[in-house]
Amino acid sequence: MRWIAKLERPLLVIGLLLLGIYVGARIHGYVLSQAEIERFKHQQLLVKELADGTVAVSKEPDFSLWSVKRIRGYEESLASHFSPAMALLCVPKIHLEVPVLDGTNELDLNRAVGHITGTSMPGEDGNIGIAGHRDGFFRGLKDVTTGDTIELATANETRTYVIDRIVIVDPNDVSVLARRSRPSLTLVTCYPFYFAGSAPQRYIIQATLTNSTANNLRASSHASF
């Protein structure tokens, strides 16, 4: 029975390893579940703020990538009155969460990002254009890639888009704002990101509505009570 005694230690080690893996997997699953619950609660609160017209465009953003000029512009904008945000834009990859104001004048873009006039409104199925400063809220867009997600929350719903195209165009090229084959979101900022002076090009990020979001929207529209 000596061979059985020799197996006892390896079997014990294997058993402990398997137990550790099981416990680790359960803890990991619990942590992810709790994080998703908190994320959902946070998103619901933001949607409620939009519905109430109280979403705070004065919440201090992360200035770590901002230029001195843009930080000063943001601080000066705090003394101005703004209409309630029409949506909230979230880019999880770069931890960006910023209100969307109705307009793209300098004051609007110092305080938040702006809906581009003439494009579809947040919550609609066309191509929604949103602009932001390259040395302010949209500086972090330099780090996103295709496949990353973008969330756009309105008072009625939150839509998730997946980035499928990143392109650099001339300032007069407005074709990127045209309606696409599927409901889309187009983010526009100046390029290059660290160019001194007036940037000569535009950095365009386009994303399409995810299938799961589209299916949920269709199911909601056909639901009867």
pLDDT value of position 3: 56
pLDDT value of position 187: 98
* Cβ atoms of residues 126 and 161 within 8 Å: no
Range of the domain at 164: 57-222
Q: Are residues 41 and 77 in the same domain?
A: no
Q: Mean pLDDT across the stretch 27-41?
A: 51
Q: Are residues 184 and 204 in the same domain?
A: yes
Catalytic hit among 28, 115, 133, 222: 133
As a whole number of angstroms, the longest Cα–Cα distance in the chain is 86
- Work out the number of other CB atoms within 10 angstroms of the CB of residue 127: 20
Q: How confident is the model at residue 148 (pLDDT cuts 50, 70, 90)?
A: very high
Q: Are residues 43 and 85 in the same domain?
A: no
Q: Are residues 107 and 88 in the same domain?
A: yes
Q: Are residues 65 and 97 in the same domain?
A: yes
pLDDT value of position 39: 52
Number of domains comprising the chain: 2
Catalytic hit among 28, 81, 90, 190: 190
Determine whether 95 is an active site residue: no
Q: Are residues 211 and 116 in the same domain?
A: yes
Q: Are residues 137 and 205 in the same domain?
A: yes
* Cβ atoms of residues 192 and 142 within 8 Å: no
Most confident range (mean pLDDT) of 46-60, 65-79, 135-149, 207-221 is 135-149
Q: Are residues 92 and 191 in the same domain?
A: yes
pLDDT at 57 over 70: no
Q: Are residues 155 and 98 in the same domain?
A: yes
pLDDT at 225 over 70: no
Cα dihedral 126, 132, 134, 136 sign = negative
Determine whether 133 is an active site residue: yes
Q: Are residues 39 and 61 in the same domain?
A: no
- What is the distance between the alpha carbons of residues 181 and 76, in angstroms, rounded to a whole number? 41
- CATH code of residue 176: 2.40.260.10
- Surface-to-core class of residue 60, CB atoms within 10 Å of its CB (0-12 exposed, 13-18 middle, 19+ buried): exposed
pLDDT value of position 38: 55
Tell me which of 13-17, 32-36, 164-168 is least confident: 32-36
What are the C-alpha distances in Å from 103 to residues 83, 91, 113?
Answer: 10, 20, 8
Q: Are residues 215 and 104 in the same domain?
A: yes
pLDDT value of position 162: 97
Q: Are residues 94 and 47 in the same domain?
A: no
